[in-house]
Structure 1
Amino acid sequence: MSSKHVAARRSCSRTIGLCCLIALAGCSQRPSATLEIEPAVARRCDVPVPVTVSWDASPLGLAWAQIEVNGVGLKPKVWTAGPSKGSQQTGAWAEDGFTVTLRAMNGVELARRTLTTVPCDSND
């Protein structure tokens, strides 16, 4: 095999190796925050309901976080702030469109969840 062919094969191998590394880098999992509300869906005839809010921003290396809440058309307000991981229950005031937002203490939005409702029966 000539030196030109050897050089071409090495170049091709490097290119393939580089493409594989780029593809694998795109598949790596980035840490992310989690935010859950329970229930996430409620029957219209059952609202307003209490909602359990659970969050975890610690995978992002954050020690502290804040939770904002708001209803449809209302300005979000800080509901609780403290450790980056926790769980807390609202009062029985969550209705359709009730939104919970997890934020870093610098205001960056990390996650958002919204309560939705479904009909109580076929007549609703």
Structure 2
Amino acid sequence: MAHVTVTIGGRAYRMACDDGQEDHLTRLGVEVDQRIDQLREAFGEIGDQRLSVMAAITLADELSEARRRLREAEQEAAAERAGREASSRRLGEAEAQLAGTILSAAERLERLAREVGPSPSGGVGMG
């Protein structure tokens, strides 16, 4: 288990994380620190705890919105997949119907050819 020190609101916090996640945790700490700085600039010195809670709620709101958008995108993708599957199914049905029509026409032509018999030219050359 690795350890990282992140600075948020001017205070250093030593935190444990999985090996290889040190940079990620450091970036998250920087993001939270920047958010607190933005809130401090907007609202002034209203207390570290209150700024931390406001930053957490702001980040939670952004996460909630991102999750909502992801759900919408997944639903749209599922609807498009279903549409493509239906189109593919209709195309397969149309191809099968066309193949049946062609087969039926070929059978009628063969029947007509048998009824008419060999062609009068019969392959005999003129000479």
* Structure (1 or 2) with the larger CA radius of gyration: 2
**TM-score, normalised with respect to structure 1:** 0.30
Structure ranking higher in helix proportion: 2
Structure ranking higher in strand proportion: 1
